[in-house]
């Protein structure tokens, strides 16, 4: 048996624990491209007093670290461009000396996670290219569904690529327009017409800082400021850290140009619907972020309340799987009157450790991160909360841990409806067949994970908690109805999943 | 302004944030010794089926990582001794290859933090020495009050030292007895007669694994087992991780010998009183550990209840400074009926980062770690909980953050009586004059930290929550009454503090 | 005073000690490009028995390490492409594990040195790009004089660049032809029509290994083989190490295609003249290499003989500045009958060390590398040999060292005619004004360096020693007559040198 | 097949290439001690103007790097002691920051090589211990023959050890005397009475810098100075680098105390004979060092002359195995009139590289370091020089390389008489049975190495070249007659060699 990473076992809704979701696209011509499916965080800062912004970008990335732990990078501009990017956490890669070398009053930054295989420095961002009009640096969060098709067209026009990322495709498309039109906003608008999928971009072209959000607003992007700084970030927590406040979200289809004195907003596209990712509310964003005007924490607590209202069970206490499920459990407790207690203690130092091969490795992997307190649990009926269930393996192991610690009954409540379909718009998930809710009803899932009872949030409960219409959310992973046409780009994907499954079996 | 470490600002009761507590002992003879004051975790494992124990020691140290993050090490025995020790976290220093090189069915391990200056590899443990009877490896948690006197005596007998740690003194004392008596238990007993202070030791002499606890039981030490392993650890969480269970604590004054088949227990000393460190209950140990038979989590929750019973205030909600104050706040909420809510979100990735010099650095240092959610806080009356107040600087900053986020009233409740005196028995603390409660009454403290009201747990409340008599606890830092004679060793310490204060001013 | 690198002081004919020779090209449009001027070594290996070639490439690069110590890289092909490249020496960057990951029976490799500023991983080679026809990996040794012009044209056609190297320009030019013509040899031929300057290329396109040499043959490139391997290398020493033998040089203007069974040779261009770099014979190549059919060592020894024949001085002994001047001194000794002796001992461990700031730093920098033996030198008349004089600073210091060690007379003889003009075709040199022979006669130089007499090799002596006509050599650095039109590309360079000189003064 | 280090194959007279010479001493009592057999370089510097001496120690160690490449270290004193030591080359371990942290106007340093197994940081020097009188730092070059006996006695008196080195034994012996007598010179003298073997020591006790050489002067130690510095070093090259001059050698049996103003010399022991190691002259010291008043380079050249005088062969040319055999070959050439030529070119970058496993690995190992130039060799009769022959494997391979390159006849001449017996006094060598000259006459050796003729220097030739009486040299490795009684300490060694041989076979 090889080494098992506890991450593989533990957090099934982030791509950390979903090896193999990369798309292997079988190419009839000459090469086989493995396109990484990223989850990312992006940031941009402009200092009107012309201070160096690298410290502010560093803190912004630190506050976005939960969105990607594989690589990170910053590009700044002070007449010249300065870029530092590398593998590892923000605090591992950057040091004082590196930050001091990043001179400039405007800059952008990125944290990234990709599935596997292609976790190479070549894919780290910002992606920086020089062209006849100057230099373009770009950071991207999202997934371009038709990127292979766009790439093929560029290649046929003689374009060559050094990475496998969507970002390089977007960069070359923009530059090709820009060297013709010499108008950056026009160029981005033209490119947006071609892109199918999700994208929040921050772009640096000399002293222009530009924020772009796809016409459906699938991935988040916010605008903040304080006396000196104008800031862009995937999440508003980045502003809190620097004593800035959120101005507003970048609107779906908006291009925002930030230079010295003002923020120019161009609404390049306006659609009748939006498609805000519901998973940002349920799990992915930090609870202290405000997304599309809605505090995430409130949504999560309200989900707990709604679950309580829909529920009829009694128990000794309600308890979360820390940290993400805490507001769900607190909301439920407040609404139901059932006391809230801690029963699982998280080890803050485990992080990205390895687990040595031995018999109990899989169970150990969970125990290392979460330790059940028998003194609290023994003989008790417990309602345990998770934010979502993806493959179900962690839920199963935690319920088993609770039972071993003496729990009489374990009832699981989940802050998100059943996930039945692969996200194709920027959240890494396992393939459909690995999703426990794919083709199974709730009772079948309950049996697999071993709970005494199992209830999910309803889709109506979800929209109610978020406070948005179903038509303003992307719920593709719940309903398999995606807000963009994915089918026609998907056929090329299908063979690869067969490959991947097989190769997984061989490991 | 130089670099400020957020650790310096944030966790005032651990030595991470108390620079300068090393003892600089002015020596009239020939040298000036800086003795590190350690906080540590120790572990030992014996495999009856003769499996390699290094993975188990690795996981044990991982579960003790909160007790020391500066250096770590493991020594194993399989006929020969194998030692690997180095700077950094357990997951940073050890890798698969290193662990595989640590062959042996019995071994010991250590995690360590020391204040400053002497954070050198020479002081990393296990400390391993070869002598005429074989080899001795030793790990120590505690503080030997008369170590300088013992060291002087050894030096006068011709002994030379390579480190500045108490541990080397203990090792040489044991060996000197052992080469004469050839009886390891007798030797340890003789040395225990000489040692004044706190010590939990794990010792490896060829295939003997030995656990020793000082006659007052000041620092914790537990015994666990499963089908194969016999385990020693500073805390019982180490056993949970490996599916083992706690057998019992090593008793004050006990020497426990573990070899293949059995655990031989020798009660070398038995005193009429004990002196269990109250701070292990309040802050230092993990909440999921069981200490002297008492679950830590229960103690902390009971403290919250007692505080509620002693209190008469009303508020919109009760909220903890996460993570350590959560059980206090929950206990208070349950007893008082005031709802429990989260108001501060912790960034899990900040860890040991640096902060770049700029005006708001000190405030930023707190914000980076703890972000107040304005949406929860605005217009609310809040009872905020901390486990203890040492210097008061963090409390002050957090109260200020809450007010900026719109809190109407901020009432602080503290799970530990006022800390008025330097711990001299193994917990690192700033000097007396840095302690906010040294020479100040509660009202004066309240004004400094800016709370609307401030209440501490009473000493009676503390003993009631722990369930032990005052005479069975060490409460030296609360009462300045220490369970061992410290005065006669202290005079030599006094001049150093003057030095330290002065040198602090110079920084 | 800052840190002085002994390399800066010691070996004035390689770019190691010529800071500032990068071309800063003032760009009227939007950006300022710093183009690195590289010196490099390239290698390629094909195994007919389909063994992994990465070990052979590793040894080849090790034998070419003197051609570049800044970065190194290998790309192999086994159906997929595998690339590892990084900063540092071949033995520092590559380890067993990295080499084992480089699977494939065909591959290419590179060692590189560039002047400064742009010593970044982005410029490390092989440069690998994916395009619509597949993948292209390329390594380059040389300097494309019109690369900026070509780059501008590509940029205007929408091409963007991630590096500042000529190599990326060549790669994109080839790919643009290739995706149209689908004929790699035709494409390379077309690109060769556009390139002005020097280039020895090794290219890997899937299983084709291709060697290309510019029409004048300025930079070297050789072909070797043994029973299994077909090999390409900048120098024939690479073949010796692997028990292979040199077949022949790649001819000026030749494109050689190597696949499984045969070597297809296309003579794309044939010019009436050649322009073999004379500096490869005098200094840059290893003495044990055979270049254009001529053993380097023989050339160097013959230079010594010719110098003796042209000379009329008497001395106690002839002595080299080791290691490069040894064959010159031996040849002179044999021809003149004056004994050969060692007088300067080289410290083999100094390498790339730093020198601490203090008064004698500059002298120390030489002493650390070369120690004069007073016992051999005292009271003697010495003829000391150097291979060439570039800035003259090292010659001056060595003569001074010899005098301090007691030498009565120090006569310097130089194995190369005076270097009067900047090399623009692939050897890094300081700017014209830093060249001691630029605008000075021999007597003026003698006074500056402090020799009792000074004689250079004549240009006739050089052609005689090499055995080639002046018209078959590039002697641009001696005569300022370059074999390619450089003038029309040069004007753009001029302003930059002014900048550079000024900034040098500030250091 | 595993990895072969070229070092293992290439330089048979240094311990780099003699794995397994460690003494494994079977201990009847409790542990098995592997005592490293070191070769080392030591240095000490005192600045009368109270400059920081760490840069000077750094340069001294750099000039002694050939004496040991495994670990290095420096201790300085400025009221406090500062020590930095670590694994690797001087330029790898030390950087500017480390050197700047080593404050103090007096200090000592060490470079070390040990065979294997025990190449651990614990054995790195200076060895620093604190005792009741202060601190003692010590560096040692040599081998204490009776160290195990002395160690046993100390252990029986209760002393424990952290390393396996002789140096720790010497340190504890000195301290035990010193804390009693409080007179450092008296203490060292008393300890010298007990030590059997070779030792050159530099000791730092607060501001006293002390140099000690064993009564027979086996290992070298020199004294140098310039206007500011008083310097001690294993070799006089250290003085050259810093513009200092050699004053004299430390005399056999001398203790030299260096403080601010003067050098106090105590001749603790004076013997009727000396025992300068002849191998320092022949191979180990740098050619530009002056040893016991005799320039090494002159000795080596004279050896070549004597070999010529004793010889009667004719050849096309004389050629050295570079670098060490150059002066031998030059001396021979001058005396015989046979021309001197280079035929083997050394790759300066190979250093400590690994060799990948494959069939030709052993041959490759030599080729990587030394490349024969066929153009010089083909059809020629060659007299090839080596400084010494230890195991004969390298000689055999080089002769084979020369024949493959086309040499007609290869005659080997050796600058040292046959090495027949293991050095037990500080030069690492293989065991007797691995020495090719152990039990074989010259003709038998000639056949094994494949030379057309083979001649060694005679013992008379050696003493003549050095200019000392046989009675003033240690020639134990040539004659098996050692200048100290080794027999009585050797029996305990015998079993270990059997072990070692067996374990070698298993590799």
Mean pLDDT of C493-503: 28
Same domain flag for A244 and A117:
yes
CB-based contact D45:D31 (threshold 8 Å): no
The partner residues of A40 in beta bridges, in order of sequence, read A112
Would you call A29 and C133 a contact, using CB atoms and an 8 Å cutoff?
yes
**Do residues D204 and D323 share a domain?**
no
Which of B270-284, B442-456, C256-270, D297-311 is predicted least confidently? C256-270
What is the predicted pLDDT for the residue at D70?
86
* Cβ proximity of A48 and A230 under 8 Å: yes
Residues from C contacting A (CB-CB < 8 Å) are 29-33, 80, 121, 128-136, 152, 155-156, 158-162, 164, 171-172, 175-176, 179-180, 206
Beta bridge partners of D61: none
Q: Are residues C250 and C302 in the same domain?
A: no
Instruction: Tell me which residue in C243, C349, C364 faces D241 most closely, judged by beta carbons.
Output: C364
Residues D379 and D432 in one domain: yes
C-alpha of D393 from chain center: 21
CA–CA min distance C83, chain A (Å): 11
Contacting residues of B for A288, CB less than 8 Å apart: 345, 371, 373
Highest mean pLDDT pick, A395-404, B22-31, B110-119, C33-42: A395-404
Answer whether residue B308 shows pLDDT above 90.
yes
Query: Has residue B8 been placed in a domain?
Result: no
Residue C4 has pLDDT above 70, yes or no: no
Same domain, C338 and C266: no
Give the C-alpha separation, D63 to D235, whole Å. Answer: 9
**Per-residue confidence (pLDDT) for residue B424, from 0 to 100:** 76
What's the pLDDT band for A505 if we cut at 50, 70, 90? very low
The list of chain D residues with pLDDT below 50 reads: 1-34, 36-37, 115-119, 359, 490-507
Q: Quick check: D133 and B29 CB within 8 A?
A: yes
> What's the pLDDT at D493?
35
Q: Which residues of B touch A97 (CB under 8 A)?
A: none
pLDDT tens, position by position, B318-356: 999 999 999 999 999 999 999 999 999 999 887 655 555
Rounded to the nearest angstrom, the minimum Cα separation between A336 and chain C is 58
| CATH number of the domain to which B427 belongs | 3.40.50.2020
- In a domain? residue B13: no
Q: Percent helix, strand and coil across chain A, each rounded to 5?
A: 35, 25, 40
Residues of B in contact with D156 (CB under 8 A): 132, 179
Strands (E), A114-220: 127-131, 134-144, 197-205, 208-213
**Contact C160/A129, CB-based, under 8 Å?**
yes
* Candidates D129, D133, D162; nearest CB to B128: D162
Domain count, chain A: 2
Considering the domain boundaries, does residue C4 fall inside one? no
Half-sphere exposure of C207 (CA within 13 A, CB side): 11
Q: How many CA atoms lie within 13 A of A501 on its CB side?
A: 10
What is the phi-psi region of residue A109: left when phi exceeds 0, alpha when psi lies from -120 to 50, beta otherwise? beta
Confidence class of residue C92 from pLDDT cuts 50, 70 and 90?
confident
Query: How far, rounded to the nearest angstrom, does the alpha carbon of residue C154 sit from its chain's CA centroid?
Result: 28
Contacts of A333 (CB under 8 A, 6+ apart): A304, A308, A318, A339, A340
DSSP B163: S
**What percent of chain C is modeled with pLDDT above 70?**
83
Mean pLDDT throughout A283-291? Answer: 95
Q: Are strands C409-414 and C381-386 parallel, antiparallel or unpaired?
A: parallel
Q: Do C30 and A132 touch (CB under 8 A)?
A: yes
C266 CB-contact burial (10 Å; exposed 0-12 / middle 13-18 / buried 19+): middle
* pLDDT of B8 higher than 80: no
Highest mean pLDDT among B142-146, B257-261, B327-331: B327-331
- Of C345, C302, C349, the closest CA to residue C320 belongs to C345
Residues of D in Cβ contact (< 8 Å) with C352: 91
In this complex, which chains have at least 3 CB pairs below 8 Å with chain C? A, D
> Does any domain span residue C282?
no
**C295-315 residue pLDDT tens:** 999 999 999 999 999 899 999
Q: Is the pLDDT of residue B405 over 50?
A: yes
Rounded to two decimals, the pTM is 0.84
- pLDDT value, residue B421: 87
* Chain D closest-CA separation from residue B249 CA (Å): 31
Give the CA diameter of chain D.
Answer: 73
Beta-bridge partner residues of C485: none
Residue C433, in any domain of the structure? yes
3-state secondary structure of A390: coil
pLDDT of residue A497: 28
Pick from D128, D160, D175: CB nearest B175: D160
Taking all residues of chain A, what is their mean pLDDT, rounded to a whole number? 84
Please tell me which residue, A117 or D364, carries the higher pLDDT value.
D364
pLDDT in tens, A310-326: 899 999 999 999 999 99
Res D345: pLDDT: 95
* Separation of alpha carbons D277 and D254, rounded Å: 17
Which CATH number goes with the domain that contains C266?
A: 3.60.20.10
- Residue ending a domain, among B230, B256, B271, is B271
Q: Where do we find the tokens 């903040």?
A: A224
**Are D184 and D264 contained in the same domain?**
yes
Query: Per-residue pLDDT averaged across A354-376, rounded?
Result: 74
The 10s digit of each residue's pLDDT in A163-194 is 878 899 999 999 999 988 999 999 999 999 99
Q: If you write DSSP's letter for every residue of B437-487 in order, what string do you get?
A: TTT--HHHHHHHHT-SEEEEPPHHHHHHHHTS-GGGEE-HHHHS--SS--H
End-of-domain residue from the set C211, C240, C271:
C271
Task: List all residues 6 or more positions away from B405 whose beta carbon is below 8 Å from its beta carbon.
Answer: B343, B372, B373, B374, B377, B378
Rounded to whole angstroms, the Cα distance separating B424 from D235 reads 51
Chains A and C touch (3+ CB pairs under 8 A): yes
Q: Which residue among the candidates D40, D139, D416, D474 is catalytic per the annotation?
A: D40
Give the per-residue pLDDT at A159.
87
With CA atoms as reference, report the closest residue to B373 among B339, B412, B413, B402. B402
For A19-35, what is each residue's pLDDT tens digit?
222 333 333 333 334 45
pLDDT for C42:
98
Q: How far apart are alpha carbons A348 and A355 in whole angstroms? A: 16
Are D320 and D193 within one domain?
no
Contact B318, B340 (CB under 8 A): yes
Contacts of C365 in chain D (CB under 8 A): none
Pick B35 or D121 by higher pLDDT. D121
pLDDT, tens digit (0-9, with 9 covering 90-100), for C453-478:
999 999 999 999 999 999 999 999 99
Q: Tell me, yes or no, whether A20 lies in a domain.
A: no
D65-to-B127, B416, D48, D90, D112 alpha-carbon distances in Å: 31, 59, 26, 7, 9
Q: How many CB pairs under 8 A join B and D?
A: 86
Residues D236 and D320 in one domain: no
Q: What residues make up the domain containing D224?
A: 36-271
Mean pLDDT of chain C: 84
Q: Which of A65, A297, A353 sits opposite B91 (nearest CB)?
A: A353
Q: Which of B62, D182, C62, C498 is nearest to C74 (CA)?
A: C62
Q: Which of C47, C299, C345, C364 to mutate to test the interface with D (most CBs of D within 10 A)?
A: C345
Q: What percent of chain B has pLDDT over 90?
A: 64
Q: Which residue of D lies nearest to C67 if distances are taken between CA atoms?
A: D349
Q: What Rg do the C-alpha atoms of chain D give, in angstroms?
A: 23
- For B297, the closest of A241, A288, A373 (CB atoms) is A373
Query: For the segment A440-475, what is each residue's pLDDT rounded down to a tens digit?
Result: 999 999 999 999 999 999 999 999 999 999 999 999
Quickly list DSSP for A339-377.
PB---EEE-TT-TT--B--STTHHHHHHHHHEEE-HHHH
Which among A30, A128, A130 is the nearest to C133, CB-wise? Answer: A30
The residue with greater pLDDT, A2 or C133, is C133
Judge if B119 and B182 occupy the same domain: yes
Give the Cα separation of D473 and D461 in Å (integer).
13
D223 is a domain residue: yes
Q: Does the CA dihedral D237-D239-D240-D245 come out positive or negative?
A: negative
Does residue A29 contact residue A15 with C-beta atoms inside 8 Å? no
Q: Does residue A359 carry a pLDDT above 70?
A: no
- How confident is the model at residue A17, as a pLDDT? 24
CB B394 within 8 A of CB B435: no
Phi/psi-derived region of residue D158, left when phi > 0, alpha when psi is between -120 and 50, beta in every other case: left
**Do both B339 and B423 map to the same domain?**
yes
Where do the H-state alpha helices sit in C129-165? 147-156
Partners of D80 on chain B (C-beta within 8 Å) are: 32
Say how many C-beta atoms besides its own lie within 10 A of residue D405's C-beta.
20
Helix axes B296-309, B459-466, angle to 10 degrees: 140
Mean pLDDT over the full length of chain B: 84
Helix/strand/coil percent split, chain C, to 5:
35, 25, 40
Portion of chain A with pLDDT greater than 90, in percent: 64
In a mutational test of the C interface, the residue from D1, D238, D356, D358 whose CB has the highest number of chain C CBs within 10 Å is D356
> Does one domain contain both B23 and B116?
yes
- Whether residue A224 is found in the same domain as residue A360: no
Q: Is residue A31 part of a domain?
A: no
User: Chains with 3 or more CB pairs closer than 8 angstroms to B?
Assistant: A, D
A162:C32 CB<8 A: no
Cβ atoms of D435 and D419 closer than 8 Å: yes
What is the predicted pLDDT for the residue at A315?
97
Name which of C345, C406, C404 is nearest C370 in CA terms.
Answer: C345
Burial class (CB in 10 A: 0-12, 13-18, 19+), B6: buried
- Mean pLDDT over B23-42 rounds to 50
């Amino acid at each position: 048996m090889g080494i098992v990473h506890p991450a593989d076992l533990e957090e099934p809704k982030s791509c950390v624990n979903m090896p193999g979701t990369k798309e292997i696209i079988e190419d009839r011509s000459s090469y086989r491209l493995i396109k990484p499916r990223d989850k990312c965080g992006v940031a941009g800062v402009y200092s009107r007093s012309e201070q160096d912004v690298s410290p502010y970008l560093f803190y912004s990335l630190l506050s976005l670290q939960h969105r990607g732990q594989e690589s990170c990078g910053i590009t700044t501009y002070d007449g010249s461009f300065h870029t530092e990017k590398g593998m590892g956490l923000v605090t591992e890669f950057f040091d004082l000396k590196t930050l001091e070398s990043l001179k400039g009053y405007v800059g952008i930054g990125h944290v990234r996670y990709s599935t596997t295989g292609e976790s190479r420095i070549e894919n780290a961002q910002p992606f920086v290219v020089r062209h006849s009009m100057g230099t373009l640096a770009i950071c991207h969060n999202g997934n371009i569904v038709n990127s292979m098709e766009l790439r093929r067209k560029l290649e046929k026009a003689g374009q060559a690529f050094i990475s496998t990322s969507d970002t390089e495709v977007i960069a070359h498309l923009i530059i090709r327009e820009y060297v013709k039109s010499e108008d950056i906003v026009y160029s981005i608008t033209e490119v947006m017409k071609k892109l199918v999928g999700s994208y929040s971009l921050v772009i640096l072209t000399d002293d222009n800082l530009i924020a772009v959000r796809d016409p459906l607003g699938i991935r988040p992007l916010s605008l903040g400021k304080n006396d000196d700084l104008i800031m862009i970030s995937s999440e508003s927590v980045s502003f809190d850290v620097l004593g800035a406040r959120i101005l507003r979200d970048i609107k779906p289809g908006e291009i925002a140009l930030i230079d010295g004195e003002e923020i120019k907003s161009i609404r390049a596209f306006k659609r009748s619907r939006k498609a805000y990712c519901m998973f940002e509310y349920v799990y992915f964003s930090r609870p202290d972020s405000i997304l599309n005007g809605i505090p995430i924490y409130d949504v999560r607590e309200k989900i707990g309340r709604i679950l309580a209202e829909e529920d009829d069970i009694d128990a000794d206490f309600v308890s979360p799987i820390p940290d993400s499920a805490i507001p769900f459990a607190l909301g439920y407790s407040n609404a139901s009157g059932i006391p809230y207690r801690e029963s699982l203690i998280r080890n803050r130092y485990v992080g990205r450790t390895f687990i040595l091969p031995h018999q109990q490795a899989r169970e150990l992997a969970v125990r290392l991160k979460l330790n059940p307190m028998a003194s609290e649990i023994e003989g008790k009926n417990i309602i345990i909360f998770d934010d979502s269930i993806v493959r179900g393996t962690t839920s199963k192991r935690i319920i088993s841990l609770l039972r071993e610690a003496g729990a009489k009954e374990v009832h699981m409540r989940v802050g998100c409806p059943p996930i039945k379909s692969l996200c194709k718009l920027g959240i890494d998930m396992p393939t459909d067949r690995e999703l426990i809710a794919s083709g199974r009803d709730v009772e079948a899932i309950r049996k697999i994970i071993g709970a005494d009872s199992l209830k999910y949030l309803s889709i109506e409960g979800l929209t109610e908690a978020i406070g948005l219409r179903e038509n303003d959310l992307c719920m593709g992973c719940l309903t398999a109805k995606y807000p963009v046409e994915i089918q026609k780009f998907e056929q090329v994907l299908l063979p690869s999943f067969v490959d991947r499954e097989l190769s997984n079996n061989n490991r």
